[in-house]
Amino acid sequence: MTLNVDIIDMRIKKIAEQYKADIQQQLNTTKQNEHFLMAAAFVLYSYPRFLPYATYFLAMLTGEQLLKLLSMTLEGLNHRQFTPVKLAFEKSHKQLYALAVNQLEAALYKMYNDYETMSLQRLAATFRRGDLLEVI
């Protein structure tokens, strides 16, 4: 029995064509995963370490910034001002949140010289205690 090289070559090309789309899809998925990992690393290293523990503090500070923006007091806030306050919040919530993050980070630097290197347990405890409220 003699081997026909042309037939074998044709079969290999046919198999390669069948799997070409699968291979290309796997390559694209790998590239997407690499981009996702790079984006995740950027997010992890560009956001302050305290964010997971600071939800209530950030909400409070964002609310205070909103009241300051509208030249209002908490006592003056009622159901009649709800719509304009809501619209103002929707318009500027990103800036208000950024101000709150900066304000909280400044307070942490005031409290601790080693804020960037302190343990996460100690950082979490800071938000459970009330002494951070005095610095803000």
pLDDT digits (tens, 9 = 90+) for 83-96: 999 999 999 999 99
- Give the burial class of 46: count Cβ atoms within 10 A of its Cβ; 0-12 exposed, 13-18 middle, 19 or more buried: exposed
Q: Which residues contact 74 (CB under 8 A, 6 or more apart)?
A: 67
Question: Mind listing the pLDDT tens digit for each residue in 15-62?
Answer: 667 767 776 777 677 777 777 667 666 655 667 888 889 999 999 999
Q: In the prediction, which pLDDT does 106 show? A: 93
Report the distance separating Cα 105 and Cα 119, nearest Å.
Answer: 16
How far apart are alpha carbons 78 and 95 in whole angstroms? 23
> Is the separation of the CB atoms in 100 and 51 below 8 Å?
no
Give CA–CA dist 128/50, Å, rounded: 12
pLDDT per position as a tens digit, 63-114: 999 999 999 999 989 999 899 999 999 999 999 999 999 999 999 999 998 8
